[in-house]
Amino acid sequence: MKKDYIYINLYSDKNVSQNSLKIMLKDNCNKIVFKGITNNLGKIKIPICDNELYNLIIYSNIIIIVPLIARKDKIYCVNIDNNKERKHLVTIMLMDKNYPNIKIEGGKMILWQDIQFQ
């Protein structure tokens, strides 16, 4: 039985209908872990496994998908009134002292490069 929980705070600066907001949490295998309907924007308690990767899906006027790493007892705040598509940029820096051939070059990740022929 899952004993850890996260809390979701939904908020809106505009008059977004709070009636029947659908919330779904999917794990990294795309399996539904939690599915529920709420009538408030306050703390929504969702059972999780600590330090696991999930997709939080909120159905309001639009579908909002928030990838998150679940940390027990953490509160996640999500603004549900923005009707524009949201793109989150992610920066990844790879460092491995055992494999110096791993490089990121011009937006492409080069996992191996023969440096003897350069």
Residue-level pLDDT at 90: 56
What's the pLDDT at 40?
63
Please tell me which of 13-27, 29-43, 88-102 the model is most confident about, judged by mean pLDDT: 29-43
Q: Which residue has the higher pLDDT, 94 or 42?
A: 42
- Contact indicator for 83, 45 with CB cutoff of 8 Å: no
Q: Which residues pair with 45 in a beta bridge?
A: 7
The confidence score (pLDDT) of residue 37 equals 80
Query: Can you give the pTM of this predicted structure?
Result: 0.60
Average of per-residue pLDDT across 65-85: 77
Question: How many angstroms separate the CA atoms of 8 and 74, rounded?
Answer: 9
CATH number listed for the domain at residues 4-79: 2.60.40.10
Burial (CB count within 10 angstroms: exposed 0-12, middle 13-18, buried 19+), residue 8: buried
**CA dist., res. 56 & res. 96, Å (int):** 32
Structure tokens at 86: 């949201």
Domain boundaries, the chain: 4-79
The confidence band for 60, taking pLDDT boundaries of 50, 70 and 90, is confident
Structure confidence at residue 1 (pLDDT) = 43
